[in-house]
Structures are given as C-alpha cells and as structure tokens.
C-alpha cells in the first residue's frame, strides 16, 4: 500500500514494549529514492534525542490510528544511532530553506 510521506510526519512509533515517540522526518536513499530511515523525536521519553529507525524494522503501519509498529524494544532504540551520531551528510541535517 502506498502512503504520502508528508502524512506520516507525526505518526507515533510503538516498540515491542511501548511507545517511544513520533516521526519527525524521513531520510531517503539517493540511489533508489526509497525511505531509508524514520527520524523519531523521543522528547517525551529520552529527553529530546532524535533517533534513526531503519524502515526494515517497521512491521505494521496503522494509518487511521496514525501508528507505526517496529520490531525493536525500547532499549534497542535507546541504544541505536541518533541523528547527531549517524554517518549522514551535513546537508541532510540542515533545515529546509525556501527562496
């Protein structure tokens, strides 16, 4: 099923043992233009750290409820890469500028 990526911003993320935050942004793979990572804001859980979750970890997307379920525990997500520590080009982490 296809989903508009813009509509996924704000969806809540559920780990196998509870909610961890919401989708704040998406990172795309340049080569195939597929979504590679969900950028998840965890400010209500681990103090505002933005973590990356690979799309291969998504097991279910519930559009009516605006939920995304992943096959990771809260502990695995907490120990995973943050936007700040990941190997991402600087241009990818800068805010959009409209002219």
Q: Is the pLDDT reported for residue 52 higher than 60?
A: yes
- How far apart (Å, rounded) are the C-alpha atoms in residues 1 and 71? 19
pTM, 2 dp:
0.78
- How far apart (Å, rounded) are the C-alpha atoms in residues 22 and 65? 13
Domain boundaries, the chain: 5-90
According to CATH, the superfamily of the domain at 5-90 is: PRC-barrel domain (2.30.30.240)
Nearest CA among 56, 59, 65 for reference residue 22:
65
Q: What's the pLDDT band for 50 if we cut at 50, 70, 90?
A: confident
Token readout for 67 is: 């939920």
- How far apart (Å, rounded) are the C-alpha atoms in residues 29 and 51? 17
pLDDT at position 1 is 52
* Higher per-residue confidence, 4 vs 13: 13
Q: Is the pLDDT reported for residue 74 higher than 80?
A: yes
């Amino acid at each position: 099923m296809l989903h508009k990526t813009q509509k996924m911003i704000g969806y809540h993320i559920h780990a196998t043992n509870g909610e961890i935050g919401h989708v704040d942004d998406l990172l795309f793979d340049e080569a195939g233009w597929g979504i590679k990572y969900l950028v998840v804001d965890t400010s209500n859980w681990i103090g505002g750290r933005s973590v990356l979750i690979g799309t291969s970890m998504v097991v279910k997307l519930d559009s009516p409820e605006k939920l995304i379920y992943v096959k990771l525990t809260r502990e695995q997500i907490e120990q995973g890469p943050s936007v700040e520590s990941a190997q991402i080009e600087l241009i990818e982490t800068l805010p959009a500028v409209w002219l």
